[in-house]
Amino acid sequence: MNQLGFPILSLITYLPLVGAFLVATLGGDGEKSACMARRIALVFSLIVLALGVFLWTQFNPAIAGYQFVEVMPWLSGISVEYRMGVDGISLFLILLTLALTPIAILASHGIKTSARSFFAAMLLLETMTVGMFAATEFVLFYVFFEAVLLPMYLIIGVWGGEKRVYAAVKFFVFTLAGSLFMLLAVVWVWRNLGTTNMAVIAHANIPPSAQTWLFLAFLAAFGVKAAVWPLHTWLPDAYGEAPVPGTIMLAAVLSKMGAYGFLRFAIPMLPNASAMFEPLMFVLGVVAVIYISYVALAQTDMKRMIAYSSVAHMGVIIIGLFTFTVEGIEGALFQMLSHGIVIAGLFICGGVLTARGQSLTLRNLGGLARNMPVFAAALMLFTLANMGLPGTSGFIGEILVIVGALKVNFWVSLLGGAGMVLGVTYSLVLVRAVLFEKYARPDLTGLKDLTGREYAMLLPLAVLVMWLGVYPSSFTHAFDAPIAALVQAHTAALNPHTAIAMVTAQ
């Protein structure tokens, strides 16, 4: 058992499942049971959030390996164990999930039809996502990775917008097709390395020829999930059609699963192939940053514009990961957290307008800063963070990625940095169209400012944005050890001679 004496990770993972079961078996229909279901879901998500914060306080940032490890026999016949653990990389992604789920549940106020199923699906989604970040066993990881699809498919398809069926099916088919390639990789690893323990396979010596194929398999699986250009086409549909809470979870948490997969598997396991495909990944990242920023600029719908900006930011994360420098990877990881919080804030702002009966078409909005000043301030803050203004969380991640890229390739750094400028363009267009200009329609003057519930959603996010921006080291100090070890192992694997020299020098 781990240092705490109780399986805290499993507890965090499966408590929402208990909640989901409770919500699903709740009797009754209509408004009252919907309200009850929402409360139960909120309580459960807050309890696990508290457990998550407790986990953070107990976490030792000096250790590079997995902590709070849990091992149990599972598929005993074929030598697969149930393994959970966290390190500095997964800790904050788990915390991000735990923090955003209650906010997403708060944002589900508008869900009226079959509300019980909705909240059960949200809690199920939390279980699967946390489980995926906490799994340290490849098969277990795969199970959670795929299982995320089930609740998300229903959330988009049942409670989504007009084209929800198309979006849900596209989302499911894209991700399923991608992840089945990963299944092949799992089976390959299993056969050739004899184990699927992630701590072991991360340092396995895989022949370079096989690495190429494995990398392509991972690219298919994680590239779709992370919406790497050109595998991103499912994303605008899914983000656009999903209900607001679903979009929050998709954009803030689920898109991180892909980047996390690259960081956890592709980079440590396949050093040669990662180095070989580095130029390709840079190109994909840069194209995402520049091309998708232009696409975002061309959008006429607020939700879709934010969705495309999300793809552009994923490009920055991909560039950071494949610099193989401590700065670049830390920047990418930091950007994942920052982007998760910021994008959630932006989509909630969109949700605020939808809740007031407004469509999110930019042409129909405008002038909202006059009668919704607090809303305007919140939207402004998240937009500024989204474009990477110093002092907000977005800045730290982007600057680290650019510094990391600069160490490797000047042009990548320049072009990636250009994305920040383009980010400013579409962000300002968005803000101007929504908050300033003239009222597009007279009924916009009657809109009320934020309600208490909306404060409860936006305030924690705003605080987090500032916290990450002003005092980043309270987060980055946990990254340092695992990422330094990762980069060192990567360099050593590529240059055996330097590794020997380093050992002898010591």
Residues numbered 126-165 forming contacts with another protein, rule: CB under 8 A? 139, 142-144, 146-147, 149-150, 153-154, 157-158, 164-165
Task: Give the whole-angstrom CA distance, residue 132 versus residue 431.
Answer: 36
Q: What are the angstrom distances between the C-alpha of 479 and each of 88, 202, 391, 442?
A: 5, 17, 20, 51
- Pick from 117, 299, 310, 335: which binds another protein (CB under 8 A)? 117
**How many chain residues interact with another protein (CB under 8 A)?**
36
Question: 75 or 500: whose CB is closer to another protein?
Answer: 75
Size of the chain in residues = 506
216 touching another protein, by CB under 8 A: no
Question: 56 or 142: whose CB is closer to another protein?
Answer: 142
Task: Give the whole-angstrom CA distance, residue 332 versus residue 55.
Answer: 23
**Least Å from the CB of residue 167 to another protein:** 10
Question: 165 or 463: whose CB is closer to another protein?
Answer: 165
Confirm if 55 and 91 have CB atoms less than 8 A apart.
yes
**Least Å from the CB of residue 370 to another protein:** 40
Question: Of 351, 433, 419, which is closest to residue 386 (Cα–Cα)?
Answer: 419
Residues numbered 448-487 forming contacts with another protein, rule: CB under 8 A? none
Question: 120 or 430: whose CB is closer to another protein?
Answer: 120
Task: Give the whole-angstrom CA distance, residue 169 versus residue 185.
Answer: 25
Question: Of 469, 376, 374, which is closest to residue 430 (Cα–Cα)?
Answer: 376
Kind of pairing, strands 67-75 and 80-86? antiparallel
- Pick from 9, 168, 219, 457: which binds another protein (CB under 8 A)? 168
List for the chain the helix, strand, coil content (%; round to 5).
80, 5, 20
**Least Å from the CB of residue 176 to another protein:** 6
- Pick from 92, 118, 172, 475: which binds another protein (CB under 8 A)? 172
**Least Å from the CB of residue 157 to another protein:** 4
**Least Å from the CB of residue 8 to another protein:** 19
Region for residue 328 given its phi and psi (left: phi exceeds 0; alpha: psi -120 to 50; beta: otherwise): alpha
Residues numbered 19-78 forming contacts with another protein, rule: CB under 8 A? 73-78
> What secondary structure, in 3-state letters, does 244-264 show?
HHHHHHHHHHHHHHHHHHHHH
Residues numbered 343-402 forming contacts with another protein, rule: CB under 8 A? none
* SS3 state of residue 277: coil
**One character per residue 176-215, x = contact with another protein (rule: CB under 8 A):** xx--x--xx--xx-xx------------------------
**Least Å from the CB of residue 390 to another protein:** 43
Question: 76 or 209: whose CB is closer to another protein?
Answer: 76
Q: Which DSSP category does 266 fall into?
A: I
Question: 91 or 155: whose CB is closer to another protein?
Answer: 155
Question: 129 or 427: whose CB is closer to another protein?
Answer: 129
- 53-56: list long-range contacts, CB under 8 Å, 24+ apart: 53/95, 54/8, 55/8, 55/9, 55/12, 55/86, 55/91, 55/94, 56/91, 56/95
**Least Å from the CB of residue 177 to another protein:** 6
**Least Å from the CB of residue 187 to another protein:** 5
Stretch that binds another protein, among 96-104, 175-183, 199-207, 410-418 (CB under 8 A): 175-183
Question: 37 or 312: whose CB is closer to another protein?
Answer: 37
Q: Exposure string (b/e) for 424-452, b if CB count within 10 Å is 16 or more?
A: bebbebbbebbbeeeebeeebeebeebee
Question: 180 or 484: whose CB is closer to another protein?
Answer: 180
Respond yes or no on whether the N-terminal peptide bond of residue 230 is cis (omega within 30° of 0): yes
Task: Give the whole-angstrom CA distance, residue 55 versus residue 9.
Answer: 9
Residue in the block written with tokens 């490009």: 315
Sign of CA dihedral 479, 481, 487, 493: negative
**One character per residue 95-114, x = contact with another protein (rule: CB under 8 A):** ------------------xx
The distance between the two most distant Cα atoms of the chain, rounded to a whole number of Å, is 76
Question: 74 or 439: whose CB is closer to another protein?
Answer: 74
Question: 217 or 248: whose CB is closer to another protein?
Answer: 217
Residues that bind another protein (CB under 8 A): 73-78, 113-114, 117, 139, 142-144, 146-147, 149-150, 153-154, 157-158, 164-165, 168-169, 172-173, 176-177, 180, 183-184, 187-188, 190-191
